[in-house]
Amino acid sequence: MRNSQLHIAAVLVLFLVLPAQSPAQVGVEVQVVEGFWSDGQQNYLSTTGEIVFGIRYYNYSDSTVGSFRSGYRLTATSGVQWDHTWIEGNDGPGGLWHFTIITEECLDCDGVPPDLVAFNAMPAMFGGMPHGYDEEALRVGVVLGDGNETLNGNTLCIDSSFFPPNGNWLWSYSGFGGSFVPAWNGPLCYEFRGPDPDCCSLRGDADGNGTGPDIADLVYMVAYAFSGGPPVICQQNADIDNDGLLAPNIADIVYLANYMFDGGPGLDPCP
């Protein structure tokens, strides 16, 4: 009888100590931020350069997240390989390093899938992910190298992952807040596809409205290249200098600005 009373008392204590909040208020979301393009209906991964995933951490609970361990696993269609994988935490004003001790680990990043990376926060007495935190906390990159048309039609996926020695996604609130599994919007899978080589209709028409090049096209290209704006519908239209590289890039932007405002050389017509 006494043991039963002790068990009931222990449960009541835990009930009173644990905050009444949903783990869905705390979680992780991932999206592709570089290395993709659109045909106007769907986004595809480029087959050249690198693919960069931006991973956002958020905490809208009433408590501070004191520690967490997060593993990410990159897989692909059978036979697909790339040069290597990298991980980099946000060291800017929105970085989690302001609040706690962060470690980034490249556990298996040789480009032979599955590749595995980890992003962890050490338990901190007075730190952690505070209430209201909502930032891109890290990026994970897949370096493809030179153009590889064998990637066409294949798929790259990113998902949460267990990792050694005990890296399950069991996060904890500071103090006696208890442990929980955070929300996660994965797994996410994307198809590799090289841009349609025959889509060029009007060199400089980056926003795809059928006119240009004009200031709207230049602004569209700058937004895509530097602030996460939407991808161009036809990369050949945005390949201003006609060098065949992934477009638009800084060289294309400089070329267009020089043409529009400085009397620079004209644009090659579409073939």
Please report the domains of the chain, with CATH numbers, ordered by start residue: 22-191 (2.60.40.680), 195-266 (1.10.1330.10)
> In angstroms, rounded to a whole number, what is the distance separating the alpha carbons of residues 17 and 178?
8
Whole-angstrom CA distances from 200 to 82, 220, 229, 242 are 28, 17, 21, 11
Per-residue pLDDT for 2 more than 70?
Answer: no
| Helices 250-261 & 215-226 angle (0-180, nearest 10) | 160
Q: Which residues of 30-58 are buried (b: 16+ CB within 10 A; e: fewer)?
A: bebebbbbbeeeeebbbbbbbbbbbbbbb
pLDDT in tens, 243-262: 877 778 899 999 999 999 99
Query: Above 50 in pLDDT, residue 7?
Result: no
CB neighbour list of residue 140: distance below 8 Å, 6 or more residues apart: 52, 53, 55, 72, 74, 85, 86, 87, 117, 158
Question: Mean pLDDT throughout 12-17?
Answer: 36
* Alpha-carbon Rg for the chain in angstroms: 23
Q: Kindly report the pTM of this predicted structure.
A: 0.70
Give the residue carrying structure tokens 């579409």: 270
Alpha-carbon span 69 to 168, nearest angstrom: 7
End-to-end CA gap in the chain: 88
Instruction: Collect all residues with Cβ–Cβ distance below 8 Å to 222 and sequence separation of at least 6.
Output: 229, 253
Helix (H, G, I), strand (E, B) or coil at 32: strand
Q: Render pLDDT for 111-167 as a digit per residue (tens, 0 to 9).
A: 999 999 999 887 656 678 889 999 999 999 999 876 566 788 899 999 999 766 556
Give the integer Cα–Cα distance in Å for 27 and 24: 7
More confident residue, 221 or 174: 221
